[in-house]
Structure 1
Amino acid sequence: MLTNLKNKRKGAFIAFFPMLIIVMIAMGGIVVDISFARVTYNQLQTATDAAALAGATALVNGSDAAQNAANATFDHNLILSERANNIVIEVGRWEEDTFTPSAGGEAESTPNAVKVTAEATPPSYFIPLLRDLLREEEAIAIAGNAASSTAINSSSERDIIFVVDAGRDMNAFTSYRHQRDVPSGVTKYKTAVGYVNYPCCFPNHPPADFVAGAGDLSFHPLLGRIATNATKFVAYPIMYTLNTIKSLMKWTDGPVYLPYKKGGENWVAPYPYPAGSWNNYIAYVKVDFGVSSAGYRGTYFTGTWDSYLMDMYPGYSESPRLWLSETIQPWESTRVAVRDVITNHLTDSSDHIGLVLFNGVAPDSAVLERQLATENGSDVDVILHGIKTTNPVPGNPDLFYFTAVQPGRQPGHYSMGSIIYPGLSMAIDELTSDRSREDAKKIIVLFSSADFNAIITSFNPFGFFTNFIETVQPEVDRAIQHNIKIHTVGYQYLGQPELLQTHIAEPTGGQSLIVPYPATNRDTGGNAILNEPYLFSDILADWLNEGDSAQLVK
């Protein structure tokens, strides 16, 4: 009987074996399909995370840019080799752990977050087969996976202050003295002959019968017989007296024009600016080492005239029309870069812009030219470039001159020297004031001639204040404390621009640029193209658009 019982049990197992196979297949199929579902979900979540971060990073360029950037990431983050579907990208505000989409596509306040949702259907190989085997209409099924991600970027609001060196060194490339600092073999920078003072400075009140000569002027309307090129008039021997040279050049020490010939065909010109004199200019041309090294000793033309003004009387109170010039370098390239980055790259209303000029040797010598404000920043260019009108020269419509409507700024505008410390201090004060937004990304862009060897000092109760790089360390520490990033711009062959990078930019997490000499574009022969400043605003824009603060919140 025991043997018969064992045989019956064996028969029972054989009877249940097909059902066991079905159960095992079902379980195996579920495991495989669940694995695919898990992989699908993980890849989908990764894709929505990447899209949200990309969108939040691009918020600094506007809502459309954020949506485009988020959508583009799905082309690279595929789900089992397929693009996600039912993608929804929303721009809005993240506040108090809640996302609120922008109403009607336009945020009522500045958007700071991007929410991305998407779906993907995982492959299901075994569940349909099991359903057929069981002949059931309703069976276990794995539905399409959905994922959602939200990222914020506080840097969509930016408080940016441009801190610009307005010291006399910002005209260094226009001066013959500076050419001694440029290595041999490098083509030296020369301003366009006559450009600084002609056509920009035709006399405000010329004599009624003054008529400029046609074509090749033999008489400069502002400067007497200062030639418009270096070879038109020969250099006068240095032994000539001051009066002899003034007589030859048709200059007068008096305040008004005097007729040179009967009928007023030519005129004797007075010295045009408040500071300096014809005697000072003559002495400069005779004895200045930079002029002599350039080969222009005793040569009276607009090249030596421009250099004389840059070296001796650059300030606004001394030579009040130099801001009109477009060839004072590196000042002009700096002004153009600031203008271009504001006009073309800082167009979002969430960008607040300020301007500080530092120009002087006292700890309080910086000037807050523009407080942080919500306007588009166009008035920053008005401050730097001024406003002028263009007028034809009487009797010669092919020539023109400028009339100042609102003065701009020029190197040495307020004072001859400059130190960095006051400029950085004032900018940090502004970025930590009530005008700066708590959640905004805080940025300083510093332009400096980096003359850290200058021992220009200012006496204060604690001793003499110098321009050594160590004096800016307290302000760098303060910038780090308040999470203020400082980007720096220096200039080749001018000061020590590498110290701007190592002591200011790098410690604060900023970037650094050394603008190549002479801050203009060059032609194929290596000569400076005078009316083409070296445009580096795109580099500045890339710095400002760094989206390192985007982060996932949900």
Structure 2
Amino acid sequence: MSSRRRDREKPIAVRPALRRGVIVVLSAVLMIVMMGFIALSVDVGYMFTMQSQLQRSVDAAALAGAGTLIEGEDVATAKVHEYLTHNPVGLQWKEFTDGDTAANVDLFLSKYGDGLELSLGQWNSSTQRVESVEEGPTTVSVRMTYQNMPFFFGHLLGRDSFDITAESIATYQNRDIMLVLDLSGSMNDDSEFKSIGRLGLEHIYTNSQQMYADLGYPVYGNLTFDPAYAKATGTAPISDGQARTSVTYRGPSAVVTSDKAISKVTVRTSGGSTYNYYPSGATSYTASPNQEIRYVWITSGKNADNSDQVHSFDFDGNRLATIRKALALDNVAYPYPQGSWNDYLNYCLGTGQNNDAGYRYKFGYMSWINYLLEKRYSSDATPDLWKASAHPITAVKNSVDLFIHFMQEGDGRDRVGLAVYNAPNGNGLLESTLTENLGFIMSQTRQRQAGHYHNYTNIGGGMTTGREELQARGREGSVKMMVLLTDGQANWVNGGVNSTAAKQYVIDEAYLCKDQGFKIITISLGAGADTALMDEVARITDGVHFNVPGGQSVAEYSEDLTEIFRQVAGARPLKLVK
């Protein structure tokens, strides 16, 4: 290759000063571009930030409005306005730092109200729209637009502001709630004589009077409300010299009277001992051998042949017949399918609650009502005992009524079912399927009594019945829950008494409910309730346990239960659907 060609292939050298000039120009151009991108990024980031703030604001407003719909449309609307005001977007917070809430809301609406679209209605999940309803809306739709939000650098690109819009729709969900109630015999305890020491005689007495009134003030023989001793009257005289005598039977003592002088009183006791008393011509005398009297003989008056007249009273083999006649019950039919006047008389004559209350050997409607509550509580024995205001069962009924009233204040789409324990076979019993006829639940509960079907406490059986009803008839998408109440200890399972197995049954049922997503609200009532077990059931199912302590009056029971049911009924499950 020639030297001339090699010379043509040599590179041309660029001067250093020219290279530096090109780089400066290129850097300046790139910096302008980079600043533009930074400005754009700041403004775009600001737009997204404002959009996020607005979305949170309308979400909060929609949920707050839906949560207060049960209080009325005006309240819900006001709550939406309040939440939009208190959840500002951008620099709005500076506008609402002074003044009270009402003034700030007015200011907000005057400045931004044109951008608010608020509608109330009912959510249609099929069409994904809020449909208008004439009454009872369940859904709040909030759409908010802010116009002319300022850019930081947008004017450099020929745009000074932007608009943002966010929409949120919130509804409260339908609820399917199973009430699971304890109908064991102990639900009468606060009205029985056994509670005099805890609640006082005045409480028991007043409550008994109310129950007597609830049963229609029945009249049987010559019974009075206050328990009194029976007074047996002898045969009528058939001649002028004969006397008319009586014996007021008091068990270990007896008061004898005569319309003529008494010369002698003889008694024989349950131990076979005989005691003679000489009243010295008195017309009244109290014989007190301090053993239960079985026979009484009174010497008073003269027969037609001038012999001493001896009057005998049998409180032994014919004791019940003698007392029944003294109370004028000998020709009175016992009013209920189970029990009898003789059974009631034996109850009053024996030891037990009647004796502990100081009414042994006394007879009256007060002790008769206690006999029904303690001995003849089932619906088979005393069908209309549900009318009597026994406690705590009546406090529960009253609270269920209030609970239903709260539920009825909603849109009518909540359903309630009723399960009780125990059934006649000792298991749970479905008294009502899930229904929107909440009045039926009230009447059904009202017509149940303590020990209605069974005396023992199968809590797990009631839970099984409630769970199976929720599984079988609970609506898709509804909130399913159980309200479980008991005043005692789980003690019955698989047809017999077994406290350990009965408690385990309750725990097993709680886990089955948890698997189904059923929350359980537990209420333990009174000093005898197993609060630890009820707390465990609530914990397992993410529910809440309420404890109503023992030793309270009926009014206090009612007040506590009322507050509990108010909380349960008033808790509206909310959901953002859009």
Instruction: Identify whether the pair has TM-score above 0.5, normalized to the shorter chain.
Output: yes
Q: CA deviation at 1:464?
A: 6.8
Contact 1:175 1:311 in 2 (8 A): yes
In structure 2, which of residues 225, 228, 235 is the aligned counterpart of residue 227 of structure 1? Answer: 225
The equivalent residue for 1:536 is: 561
Task: Note closer, same or farther for the CA distance 1:251–1:318 as it changes in structure 2 (3 Å cut).
Answer: farther
Distance between the aligned counterparts of 1:186 and 1:74, measured in 2? 58
For the residue of structure 2 that corresponds to 1:340, the secondary structure is: helix
The equivalent residue for 2:338 is: 275
Contact 1:121 1:144 in 2 (8 A): yes
Distance between the aligned counterparts of 1:537 and 1:164, measured in 2? 15
The equivalent residue for 1:145 is: 164
Q: CA deviation at 1:226?
A: 3.0
Paired AA for residue 379 in structure 2 = Y
Paired AA for residue 443 in structure 2 = V
Paired AA for residue 198 in structure 1 = A
Distance between the aligned counterparts of 1:371 and 1:61, measured in 2? 28
Contact 1:360 1:417 in 2 (8 A): no
Deviations 1:59-109 (A, max 9, x none): 67777665554343223212321445422233442636x6312136669xx
The equivalent residue for 1:436 is: 474
In structure 2, which of residues 76, 88, 110 is the aligned counterpart of residue 78 of structure 1? Answer: 88
Deviations 1:23-80 (A, max 9, x none): 9999999888777655543332221121233345456777766555434322321232
Task: Note closer, same or farther for the CA distance 1:186–1:176 as it changes in structure 2 (3 Å cut).
Answer: closer
Task: Note closer, same or farther for the CA distance 1:229–1:294 as it changes in structure 2 (3 Å cut).
Answer: closer
Paired AA for residue 425 in structure 1 = T
Contact 1:519 1:534 in 2 (8 A): no
Distance between the aligned counterparts of 1:250 and 1:186, measured in 2? 25
In structure 2, which of residues 143, 149, 154 is the aligned counterpart of residue 117 of structure 1? Answer: 143
Q: CA deviation at 1:288?
A: 3.3
Q: CA deviation at 1:353?
A: 1.6
Superposition TM-score, scaled by structure 2 size? 0.66
The equivalent residue for 2:104 is: none
Distance between the aligned counterparts of 1:160 and 1:77, measured in 2? 35
For the aligned residue pairs, the C-alpha RMSD in angstroms reads 4.3
Distance between the aligned counterparts of 2:49 and 2:350, measured in 1? 82
Contact 2:324 2:341 in 1 (8 A): no
Distance between the aligned counterparts of 1:286 and 1:231, measured in 2? 11
Distance between the aligned counterparts of 1:475 and 1:466, measured in 2? 15
The equivalent residue for 1:493 is: 527
Q: CA deviation at 1:336?
A: 0.9
For the residue of structure 1 that corresponds to 2:474, the secondary structure is: coil
For the residue of structure 2 that corresponds to 1:271, the secondary structure is: coil
Q: Which moved more, 1:119-128 or 1:332-341?
A: 119-128
Distance between the aligned counterparts of 1:231 and 1:73, measured in 2? 72
Matching of residues 38-437 of structure 1 within 5 Å: 39-58=49-68, 67-79=77-89, 80=91, 81=93, 82=95, 83=108, 85=113, 86-90=115-119, 91-93=121-123, 95=125, 99-103=128-132, 114-121=140-147, 124=150, 139-151=158-170, 153=172, 156-177=173-194, 182=198, 190-198=205-213, 200-203=215-218, 221-222=219-220, 224-228=222-226, 236-238=250-252, 239=292, 241=315, 242-243=319-320, 246=323, 250-254=327-331, 256=332, 270-326=333-389, 328-347=390-409, 348-360=411-423, 362=425, 365-375=427-437, 377-385=438-446, 408-433=447-472, 435-437=473-475
Distance between the aligned counterparts of 1:494 and 1:188, measured in 2? 20
Distance between the aligned counterparts of 2:440 and 2:47, measured in 1? 58
In structure 1, which of residues 472, 494, 498 is the aligned counterpart of residue 506 of structure 2? Answer: 472
Q: Which moved more, 1:302-311 or 1:292-301?
A: 292-301
More helix per residue? 2
Task: Note closer, same or farther for the CA distance 1:23–1:469 as it changes in structure 2 (3 Å cut).
Answer: closer
Deviations 1:319-364 (A, max 9, x none): 22211112x000001111111111233342211121112224745x
For the residue of structure 1 that corresponds to 2:524, the secondary structure is: strand
Deviations 1:404-445 (A, max 9, x none): xxxx22111122323112211111111111x32111111111
The equivalent residue for 2:259 is: none
Distance between the aligned counterparts of 2:383 and 2:124, measured in 1? 51
Return the index of the structure with the highest Cα Rg.
2
Task: Note closer, same or farther for the CA distance 1:47–1:416 as it changes in structure 2 (3 Å cut).
Answer: same
Contact 1:274 1:319 in 2 (8 A): yes
Structure 2 stretches lacking a partner, 5+ long: 1-16, 96-107, 232-247, 253-291, 294-314
Distance between the aligned counterparts of 1:428 and 1:199, measured in 2? 35
Distance between the aligned counterparts of 2:533 and 2:363, measured in 1? 39
Superposition TM-score, scaled by structure 1 size? 0.69
Contact 2:406 2:569 in 1 (8 A): no
Deviations 1:198-218 (A, max 9, x none): 352345xxxxxxxxxxxxxxx
Contact 1:36 1:122 in 2 (8 A): no
Task: Note closer, same or farther for the CA distance 1:249–1:231 as it changes in structure 2 (3 Å cut).
Answer: closer
For the residue of structure 2 that corresponds to 1:75, the secondary structure is: helix
Paired AA for residue 568 in structure 2 = W
The equivalent residue for 1:482 is: 516
Distance between the aligned counterparts of 1:232 and 1:139, measured in 2? 108
Distance between the aligned counterparts of 1:185 and 1:465, measured in 2? 31
Paired AA for residue 118 in structure 1 = M
The equivalent residue for 2:278 is: none
Q: Which moved more, 1:156-165 or 1:142-151?
A: 142-151
